């Protein structure tokens, strides 16, 4: 996101607690997001795992599966799925340091967007920390391609994003969004966009052990020319807005907000993680920067 005026890290004032069902496992889980000191970063803790290291410190290289969600894993083999919507909320709201406790293998999907996570964090409140925010400044373009999908990062003095999707389906079709990734835009245009899928894919996913918790309560479901959700869409171009939401969360696994422009075409979690890994493997293409607080203008 664009630099905050004070460029300082944030955590929460109080714990934020909720419960829900994992979209793929169908398992009910309890989630507690707790304040953490400067330098902690985003750390997930599987409280149901007690026989080995149950902490997963988020970074670009702990993502181990990105087919239908973003799954992370620590060196002890402890995994956690579907972190991307909460990570997007952390990024947009400038949350740098928290401990996230979850008693199951997947975060709750809630309504399929980042809106409930933002509401949860808002209720807990935010505390400014003295450490300066580290930004990842893009110095040279980085591109990745996977078939007809591609994504890229370009130098820019703020965090910008352009996303395009193109589905051979009349309900979705071709959709484009281009915006500055800041807190207000995220709240106004991105956070409420829900995940989506096709009715004909649901049974195949369930046979594969996925989408067991999916329903019209937490996803937009398309059947041919129809949207099955009784209320229809929440907003214009909800589909591409959700893909942008996913990308914001997928990129925040690097542990710092970007100063750069992301462009994605039909990119999903896998392509986004390829981009993260390509960037981290090219140290000449980026640097960490700390920005000084903006001084008040005189005159």
Catalytic residue annotation: 269
Distance CA 115, CA 191 (A): 5
Distance CA 119, CA 138 (A): 31
Distance CA 125, CA 142 (A): 36
Distance CA 70, CA 48 (A): 20
* Geometric angle at alpha carbon 43, from 90 and 187, rounded to 5°: 10
Q: What is the DSSP string of 98-121?
A: EEEEESSSB---TTSSSHHHHHHH
Cα dihedral 194, 200, 201, 206 sign: positive
- Tell me whether strands 258-265 and 160-166 are parallel, antiparallel or unpaired: parallel
- Tell me whether strands 55-57 and 134-138 are parallel, antiparallel or unpaired: unpaired
């Amino acid at each position: 996101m664009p630099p905050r005026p004070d460029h300082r890290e944030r955590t929460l004032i109080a714990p934020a607690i909720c419960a829900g069902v994992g979209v793929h496992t169908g398992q009910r889980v309890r989630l507690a997001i707790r304040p953490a000191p400067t330098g902690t970063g985003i750390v997930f803790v599987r409280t149901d795992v007690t026989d080995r290291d149950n902490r997963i410190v988020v970074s670009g290289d702990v993502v181990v599966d990105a087919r239908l969600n973003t799954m992370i894993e620590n060196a002890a083999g402890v995994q956690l799925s579907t972190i991307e919507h909460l990570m997007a909320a952390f990024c947009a709201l400038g949350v740098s340091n928290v401990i996230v406790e979850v008693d199951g293998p997947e975060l709750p999907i809630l309504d399929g967007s980042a809106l409930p996570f933002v509401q949860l964090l808002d209720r807990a409140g935010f505390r400014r920390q003295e450490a300066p925010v580290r930004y990842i400044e893009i110095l040279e373009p980085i591109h990745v391609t996977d078939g007809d999908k591609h994504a890229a990062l370009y130098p820019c003095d703020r965090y910008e994003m352009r996303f395009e999707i193109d589905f051979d389906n009349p309900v979705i079709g071709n959709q484009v969004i281009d915006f500055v990734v800041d807190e207000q835009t995220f709240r106004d245009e991105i956070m409420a966009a829900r995940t989506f899928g096709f009715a004909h894919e649901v049974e195949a996913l369930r046979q594969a052990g996925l989408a067991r918790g999916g329903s019209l309560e937490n996803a937009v479901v398309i059947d041919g020319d129809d949207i099955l959700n009784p209320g229809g869409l929440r907003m214009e171009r909800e589909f591409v807005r959700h893909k942008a939401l996913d990308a914001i969360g997928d990129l925040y696994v690097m542990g710092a907000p970007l100063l750069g422009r992301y462009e994605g075409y039909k990119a999903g979690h896998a392509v986004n993680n390829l981009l993260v890994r390509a960037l981290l493997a090219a140290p000449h293409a980026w640097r960490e920067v700390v920005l000084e607080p903006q001084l008040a203008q005189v005159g």
